[in-house]
Every structure is written in C-alpha cells, then in structure tokens.
C-alpha cells in the first residue's frame, strides 16, 4: 500500500481546482480520475464573476475566445412580471460568463499537468474507507490492476457516486430532464441572458458566442418527446419565449441530463471531506452548481492553508463554514425548480409577484443578485 499525504478523488472542475489551490500552498497532492478528457460533454455553464476571480487567481481562466460575457440577466414570468439585473447596478464589469464545461476542465487539467506538486493518476476508484489513522482508496489503474493508497486527508470530488449511502442524505428526484441545445435567433444575444418562468418548464437562454445556448428543464416524458422531435421543440420554444427574439433556429441536437437534488448534511467524516457535487447536486435553474463547488474549494483550502499537518479538529469546522451558503443556494434553487409551471398555480403567481417586487426593491434585488454571484 502506497501512502500519500493528500488524495483527491475526481478530476472534474472542482477536484482539479482543489488540487491546484493546494499545490499553490506548497502541498503535494495526488488526484485520481477515471478519464480526464471531457471533450464530449455538451454542458455550457454560466459562471459568476466570483468564479471568474477564483479561476483567474489559479491562472486557470480559459482563453478569451472560449468565453462570452453576461452583462445583463432578464428574468420574466409569462404574463406577470419582468425585471433585470445588470452588471453596472452591482458595480461589476460583467455578471459572469458562459463557457463550455469541457474548456474549463481542459484548462485546469493543463495547469495541473504542469504543476510538479500534483500527481495525476488515471484510475477508476472502486471504494474508499475512512479511518482514525488514515483513509484508504482502492482503484483499478489504467492496466486494470487493483491498487490501494492510504492518505491522511481524502477529498472526495467525484460528483457523489461513491459514498452514496451516506446517512441522512437528502435526495429529491425532480422527474425532470434538462435539455441543452444551441439556437440562433434573429435578434443577437448581445451579452444578455434570459430566465423565463411560467411556461412548461423553467427556461434559461445563455448568450454564447453569436447565439444562445438553451437550458430547458422539462418533465421527463415531455423532454424525451421534444428531444426526439426537433420541429416540435422549436415550435414550443418559440411559443414559450423566442418568438420575441424573432424566432429560433436549431443549431445542435438537444442533449439531456436527468435532474435531482442531493445534499449530504455531513461533509466531514474523520479523514474524508466532500466538496462540489460530492456534497451537493443542485438543479441547474439558477446556474449555481459549479459556482457553489468553487466556493467549497476556496473555503476548504483557506481552512487548511496554514497547517503542515492535517488538523482533524480544525477540519470539523468545514461543515459549519459551508452550511449557510450551500443551504441558501439549495433552498432558492429547489423552490424555483419544484413548482413546475402550471398557469393556475398559486406559487406561479407569487413568483410573478416576487419578480415585480424585486424590480421595485433595488436593495433586495441587489442582495439576491450579489448572494448568487458571491455566495453568502
Ligand atoms: C444541465 C446542467 C447545467 C448546469 N449548468 C450550470 C451552470 O450554468 N452553472 C454552474 O455553476 N453549474 C451548472 N451545472 C452544475 C455543474 O455542472 C456541476 O456543479 C459541476 O460539474 C460539479 O463539478 P465537480 O467537479 O464537483 O463534479 P463533476 O463535474 O461531476 O466531476 C466529477 C469527476 O469525478 C470523476 N469520477 C467520478 N467517479 C469516479 C470514480 N469512481 N473514480 C475516479 N473518478 C471518478 C469524473 O470522471 C469527473 O471527472 C449544471 C449541471 C447540469 C447537469
């Protein structure tokens, strides 16, 4: 059994950011991922200004031509309310950016590869065990041979697939799928994102290069139907929103992602800590999952920055440090996602009223917007 000081399982954006952040503190890290190339992942994400700052500090912000700035988000509710949040209102250069998940991972992987303190291992982790003296990781390597590592600190960033039987885990199946696809509209996006409620499912239009990326959360059977029938998909989309942008033309086949909420109330075991999607998976309606995960990275690395040895007592503070931010995002997102749009739904009207109220209460609006961008 080989011993390592710190091991991270999972080389998605959160695990890779964590490894780079720790290496910058002079700590040696081993990261195991089952296959780092994410080129085929269709996700286009909206990252907040705060996430831009976190990744820039790691010199891991993707090249300018891979990113599109969001300067304004317009939030509307069919027949009820409309408000918008702009970067100047929040005294920011931009609210955030849209970029491909694959490009974020590729940039982080290049930085990690060039960092002598980071050892990247290609391996499929089969099981992990916590312990008072050390944690262990069992994985099959690139040659399918079983390997075992022990470590003083094991950071789980594998997206929540291992340790799935955590006690008191909160799980909610939305019975929805997010359809992601690219569209062209007669009206160009001009750095403006849209969030639309009150129709057949929460709809997000993200400006991306010279067109939009649509993230549409729909009841699973409807999502399947529209995924297979592109003319109907575009007709529903035009009816829902894009008619006002001059009509939509499909640029890419829709890709679907099943949606559920997972929250692990206890992120710290003894020598195992859960971050990113391993600790929480949230609905994409408010584009918060990775933003939240990157804030996990910052808080955990800050907590252990000054210690050469792993301080188990101090580590226990991590849960408390992350609770407020995570609970706020999860609560807000879950509220938006669970009340699927039926036109006579009381919640739907309240949400419309909320949007009107937000537009009339700039301080509240700024607070909500700042919380979503920077966390609580
Ligand atoms: C449709 C959709 C839209 C979204 N939009 C946004 C958005 O606009 N903004 C935003 O902030 N977030 C968004 N998200 C959420 C975002 O994608 C996640 O929060 C983010 O990817 C989490 O990163 P992670 O590194 O924690 O986990 P992941 O991205 O899931 O990475 C996990 C890594 O672990 C590896 N792994 C898994 N199991 C093993 C194993 N057994 N052994 C070894 N390695 C393993 C995987 O290969 C992968 O590299 C969206 C999500 C979806 C589904």
pLDDT at 212: 97
φ and ψ at residue 68, rounded to 5 degrees: -125, 125
Mutate to test the pocket of ligand 1, among 159, 260, 282, 300 (most ligand atoms within 8 A of CB): 159
Task: Please tell me if the CB atom of residue 277 comes closer than 6 angstroms to any atom of ligand 1.
Answer: yes
Q: Which of 19-23, 336-340, 355-359 has the lowest mean pLDDT?
A: 355-359
Q: How far is the CA of 226 from the centre of ligand 1 (A)?
A: 25
Mean pLDDT of 221-234: 98
pLDDT at 368: 64
Q: Which of 22-36, 159-173, 200-214, 295-309 has the lowest mean pLDDT?
A: 159-173
Per residue in 98-145, pLDDT tens? 999 999 999 999 999 999 999 999 999 999 999 999 999 999 999 999
The string of DSSP letters for 119-159 reads EEEEEEEEEEE--SS-EEEEEEETTS-EEEEEEEEEEE-S-
Task: Please tell me if the CB atom of residue 290 comes closer than 6 angstroms to any atom of ligand 1.
Answer: yes
Task: Please tell me if the CB atom of residue 284 comes closer than 6 angstroms to any atom of ligand 1.
Answer: yes
Task: Please tell me if the CB atom of residue 96 comes closer than 6 angstroms to any atom of ligand 1.
Answer: no
- Tokens 């190339």: give the residue: 37
Q: How far is the CA of 210 from the centre of ligand 1 (A)?
A: 26
Which domains are assigned to the chain? 2-39+101-169+261-334 (3.50.50.60), 64-99+172-259+342-374 (3.30.9.10)
Task: Please tell me if the CB atom of residue 10 comes closer than 6 angstroms to any atom of ligand 1.
Answer: yes
What number of other Cβ atoms are within 10 A of residue 39's Cβ?
Answer: 9
pLDDT at 210: 95
Query: How far apart are the C-alpha atoms of 205 and 222, rounded to whole Å?
Result: 19
Which atom of ligand 1 is found nearest the CA of 275?
26
Task: Please tell me if the CB atom of residue 199 comes closer than 6 angstroms to any atom of ligand 1.
Answer: no
Query: How far apart are the C-alpha atoms of 109 and 13, rounded to whole Å?
Result: 9
Q: What is the mean pLDDT of the chain?
A: 90
Task: Please tell me if the CB atom of residue 100 comes closer than 6 angstroms to any atom of ligand 1.
Answer: no
Which atom of ligand 1 is found nearest the CA of 15?
25
pLDDT surpassing 50 at residue 303: yes
């Amino acid at each position: 059994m080989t011993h390592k000081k710190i091991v991270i399982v999972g080389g998605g954006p959160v695990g890779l950011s964590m490894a780079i952040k720790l290496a910058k503190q002079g700590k040696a890290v081993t990261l195991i991922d089952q296959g780092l190339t994410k080129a085929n992942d269709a996700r286009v994400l909206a990252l907040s200004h705060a996430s831009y700052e976190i990744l820039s500090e790691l010199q891991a912000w993707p090249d300018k031509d891979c990113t599109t700035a969001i300067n304004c988000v317009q939030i509307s509710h069919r027949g009820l309310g409309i408000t918008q949040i702009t970067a100047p209102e929040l005294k920011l250069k931009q609210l955030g950016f849209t970029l491909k998940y694959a490009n974020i991972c590729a940039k982080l992987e290049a930085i990690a590869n060039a960092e002598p303190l980071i050892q990247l291992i290609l391996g499929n982790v089969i099981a992990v065990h916590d312990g008072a003296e050390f944690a262990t990781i069992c994985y099959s390597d690139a040659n399918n041979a079983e390997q075992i590592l022990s470590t003083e600190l094991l950071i789980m960033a594998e997206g929540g697939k291992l340790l799935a039987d955590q006690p008191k885990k909160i799980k909610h199946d939305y019975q929805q799928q997010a359809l992601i696809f690219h569209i062209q509209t007669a009206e160009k996006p001009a750095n403006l994102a849209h969030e639309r409620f009150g129709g057949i499912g929460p709809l997000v239009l993200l400006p991306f290069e010279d067109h939009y990326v649509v993230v549409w959360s729909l009841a699973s059977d409807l999502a399947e139907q529209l995924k297979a029938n592109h003319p109907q998909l575009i007709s529903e989309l035009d009816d829902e929103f894009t008619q006002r942008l001059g009509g939509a033309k499909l640029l890419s086949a829709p890709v679907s992602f099943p949606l559920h909420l997972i929250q692990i109330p206890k992120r710290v075991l003894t020598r195992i800590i859960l971050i990113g999607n391993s600790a929480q998976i949230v609905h994409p309606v408010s584009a918060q999952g990775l933003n939240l995960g990157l804030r996990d990275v910052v808080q955990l690395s800050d907590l252990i920055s000054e210690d050469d040895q792993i301080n188990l007592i101090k580590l226990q503070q991590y849960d408390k440090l992350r609770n407020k931010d995570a609970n706020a995002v999860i609560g807000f997102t879950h509220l938006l996602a669970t009340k699927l749009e039926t036109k006579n739904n009381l919640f739907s009207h309240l949400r419309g009223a909320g949007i009107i109220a937000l537009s009339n209460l700039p301080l509240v609006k700024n607070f909500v917007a700042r919380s979503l961008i920077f966390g609580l």
